[in-house]
Amino acid sequence: MKKLKKIYLVSPRGFCAGVKRAVDILDLVLKKHKPPIYVRHQIVHNRHIISDFEKRGVIFVEDINNIPDGSTVIFSAHGSSPNLYQVAKRKKLKVFDATCPLVNKVHLEAKKFNGQGYFIFYIGHKNHPEAEGVLGEIPANSVVLVQTIKEAKKITPPQTDKIIVLTQTTLSFDDTKEIINYLKKRFPKLVQPPAFDICYATQNRQNAVKELAKKVDLVLVIGSKESSNSNRLKEVAEKSGKHAYLINDKSEIKLSWLENVEKLGITAGTSAPKYLIEEVINYFKKQGVTVEELSVIKENINFSLPTI
């Protein structure tokens, strides 16, 4: 810590439009509807946000069957598979859908291309709710989940004339491109949708971290372990040749990390709230460290809220 002189606080960082929308939806539902309010899965992948809402009486559940019939439920930002909507209908749940519009876009693509007879390669993480939601849109024999190039090498699709690749929104841009390039070589007729599925917020934060890594000795990523895009930010910093740590909040900072660090870079995943970033910054400011904003990309995206 003695050597630490300067912090670069990169932007964009923290909340994206989809997370802000999901948190605002839950906040509004809490204000306008009678408790108890249930949320299927974590509304967004951040432990502080979850515990803040739990303190306000929100009940988070993984299994929709554990929600009493007729209750009010919010579906998380990561999207949900159609069978969850069917169960909700059967249980007469009042559903508010906080699925990010950019995740929804991938659901619509999956349905559309499946309807047109395409076999789908879906690049994503097994067991991630976003992947589960999209895979749930189409019959299991029309799609294959691809996580790595190694897996891509083993795929044997039922036909190779009509094949398309879709992806989870929060992946590493570079790793995903590598897998897609490999698939394109192996399957020359592979089609890509007009716009890349990795979302603007994920891409911007990864590009910003690459710039940040050029200036600093160490990168701290504020975000929870469950957060896919936060993990990717840590990996991008590491691939740029710098050590990086993922921390939930300032209490997880270890002084031993900072022993030989003069310049520290800070970023935050899309589900990390502003106050956690401010707490980390104030912690360092109190030690006399100067803080400089490093603005790499400007963002100006907002999603409208549904009627609640």
Q: Which is nearer to ligand SF4, 71 or 271 (CB)?
A: 271
Is 229 among the annotated ligand-binding positions? yes
Q: Is 29 in the site for ligand SF4 (CB under 6 A)?
A: no
Q: Which is nearer to ligand SF4, 26 or 102 (CB)?
A: 102
Q: How far is it, in rounded angstroms, from Cα 216 to Cα 32?
A: 46
| From 138-146, 197-205, 235-243, 289-297, span contacting ligand SF4 (CB under 6 A) | 197-205
Q: Is 206 in the site for ligand SF4 (CB under 6 A)?
A: no
Q: Is 270 in the site for ligand SF4 (CB under 6 A)?
A: yes
Is 199 among the annotated ligand-binding positions? yes
Residues 211-250 that bind ligand SF4 (CB under 6 A): 229
Q: How far is the CB of 156 from ligand SF4 (least distance, A)?
A: 30
Backbone angles phi, psi at 97, to 5 degrees: -100, 115
Q: How far is it, in rounded angstroms, from Cα 14 to Cα 205?
A: 9
Q: Is 16 in the site for ligand SF4 (CB under 6 A)?
A: yes
Which of 46, 80, 169, 204 binds ligand SF4 (CB under 6 A)? It is: 169
Phi-psi region of 228 (alpha: psi -120 to 50; beta: other; left: phi over 0): alpha
Place of tokens 């990864």: 206
Work out the angle at residue 71's Cα, subtended by the Cα atoms of residues 40 and 60, and round it to the nearest 5 degrees.
30
Please classify residue 215 by burial: count the beta carbons closer than 10 Å to its beta carbon, then call 0-12 exposed, 13-18 middle and 19+ buried. middle
Q: Catalytic residue positions?
A: 130
Q: How far is the CB of 168 from ligand SF4 (least distance, A)?
A: 9
Q: Is 18 in the site for ligand SF4 (CB under 6 A)?
A: yes
Is 167:131 a contact under the CB 8 Å cutoff?
A: no
Is 125 among the annotated ligand-binding positions? no
Q: How far is it, in rounded angstroms, from Cα 196 to Cα 174?
A: 12
Alpha helices in the chain (DSSP H): 17-32, 47-55, 82-90, 101-115, 129-135, 149-154, 173-186, 200-215, 228-239, 274-286
Q: Is 138 in the site for ligand SF4 (CB under 6 A)?
A: no
- Tell me the two tokens of residue 152: 């891509």
Is 202 among the annotated ligand-binding positions? no
Residue list, annotated binding site for dimethylallyl diphosphate = 45, 78, 128, 227-229, 271
Residue list, annotated binding site = 16, 45, 78, 100, 128, 169, 199, 227-229, 271
Contact residues for ligand SF4, defined by CB under 6 A: 16-19, 77, 100, 102-103, 169-170, 199, 201-202, 229, 270
